[in-house]
A and B are shown apart, each in its own frame.
Chain A
């Protein structure tokens, strides 16, 4: 099977002021696959995720060197438009963060800022994306209700619909289910499985079962270093590195 690379990272280092948080990371992630980042907290997996759509730019004193190549462009080269990048690489956060607007307006927000004004077109996008995020049936009768009136799991799926509406190629998910109950978590995982057909997904999780369930590839991070990266099956059954084995078998973490 020939896999197409969607993101290629070469020799990436990241510093918070003087402190180095990510250490010479090189990794290739593939189209229409789910890649999971695992590792103990503070290992740099979330920081690395935020490297991929430059959300780290918002934090003072962060410096990055190395290359992150998406569609033949280094996203850290000076002529790249961060705004365009973030439309292409969407993000779902740990804590669901709908805007204090209606459900409809939440989903329509992305298309609107891209200049779509036609009401029919917007209606169409909102419906299709809510359907894609598997929440349409639950909200179709009250699209004008505040996004914040939904339950935690629904809010997270609304955020996913909102991200889908900007037509991204890659979706980054930062522990998207860590604040949710088991049933909502199952729904999100199911959704990830569905979305993989059209999008490439990279998910950070502290839950190893989740990584094993949803991902095709798994990267194990420890102390800012990428320890091992392979097919998920291999990582969980027959890891090459001792540290990975210790972690996935629960000996530390």
Chain B
């Protein structure tokens, strides 16, 4: 009897958790679809509205705004979808603009800066670890670098906000203290341990008999590492790149704290940026349920989800398939 019960319980819990995993996909997308405000939510809307729009609009016009907004609700829904591809992000104004391009640009800009700094550093360190570090030193180096991944992102954001931002502005003499470079450096700190670990594992996993062959041909240790091990580990290192990229792209607290959060399309790396994730983080708490703004934020979330999920999927498939192919020889 207990046998039957146990198996029932285990199975149902497992399926509940599978269902929730599926629900994550469903709900983020569901909320991204614009919906008409029903009666039930109207109360919540009015309650929230009085406190939410403090930043951009003074308290005096608050009531009018509410009226106008409610009136324009239906048109607005249609109109805003049309200009999702616009270059202006002004969600809270008389005529809200929901152009996602500056946010995309912000995310890419700061992520790219982060990865440009982190990738060479981390791969360099991984190469050092397998080529020059003795076994004893390597066993210390790895956990030490991985310690970096134990830092909560809010702590790294804080460090960027205080120390890095000051260093950058005194070094480059920039106009905006918080900017894409500061955010990039902070992101680099978070993704270095990820890239390092994955790249080091990839380099380490190249079978010993392959490096032996190179050494037996009279290659030096570094020639073996650069000409044999590194090329053989390319898929793993590419996966490290993707994982680092995905992590940086979705990171919220760091960019929220360190990049200045202005939605611009500027090419200047010393100007502030506003990323997709930071936009959700900054605005979601103050938005009206069911509103266009609410739906657009969920849409951003859904996009982030799809993007990072597929990066991970590619990373996983790429590594497995390519590595297997490489070493089993059906290329």
Contact = CB atoms under 8 A, between A and B. Distances in A.
Direct touching of A and B (C-beta under 8 Å): yes
A95 B257 CA distance: 55
A88 B327 CA distance: 29
B325 to A, nearest CB: 9
B331 A149 contact: yes
B214 interface: yes
Given A110-B217, A166-B217, A97 B210 contact: yes
Given A97-B210, A99-B228, A100-B232, A91 B327 contact: no
Interface stretch (A79-87, A121-129, A182-190): A79-87
21 contacts: A83-B219, A84-B218, A85-B218, A88-B218, A97-B210, A97-B213, A99-B210, A99-B213, A100-B210, A109-B214, A110-B219, A112-B227, A113-B219, A113-B223, A114-B218, A148-B329, A148-B331, A149-B330, A150-B329, A162-B217, A163-B217
A119 B105 CA distance: 45
Contacts of B218: 83-88, 110, 113-114, 166
A13 B331 CA distance: 45
**Which of B135, B213, B228, B328 has the most chain A CB within a 10 Å cutoff?**
B213
Contact of B212 (A58, A101, A147): A58
A86 B215 contact: yes
B216 interface: yes
A99 B211 CA distance: 9
A38 B214 CA distance: 26
Interface in B302-331: 326-331
Nearest to A151: B329
Interface string A95-110: 1011111000000011
B214 A53 contact: no
Interface of A: 53, 55, 58, 60, 83-88, 90-91, 93, 95, 97-101, 109-110, 112-114, 145-150, 159, 162-163, 166
Interface string B158-202: 000000000000000000000000000000000000000000000
Q: Across the A-B interface, give the 3 residue pairs with the lowest CB-CB distance, nearest first.
A: A148-B329, A87-B218, A91-B216
B231 interface: yes
Contacts of A97: 207, 209-210, 212-213
Contacts of B212: 55, 58, 93, 97
Interface residues of B, number: 24
Contacts of A149: 329-331
Contacts, number: 82
A100 B326 contact: yes
Interface of B: 135, 207, 209-210, 212-220, 223, 227-228, 231-232, 326-331
Given A97-B210, A162-B213, 16 more contacts: A53-B216, A58-B212, A83-B218, A83-B219, A87-B217, A90-B217, A93-B209, A97-B209, A97-B213, A109-B227, A110-B217, A113-B223, A114-B218, A145-B331, A148-B329, A148-B331
Nearest to B224: A113
B327 A148 contact: yes
A95 B214 contact: no
**Which of A60, A91, A145 has the most chain B CB within a 10 Å cutoff?**
A91
A99 B217 CA distance: 12
Contacts of A60: 135
B232 A113 contact: no
B326 A159 contact: no
B107 to A, nearest CB: 35
Nearest to B206: A100
Given A86-B215, A146-B331, A100 B231 contact: yes
B227 to A, nearest CB: 7
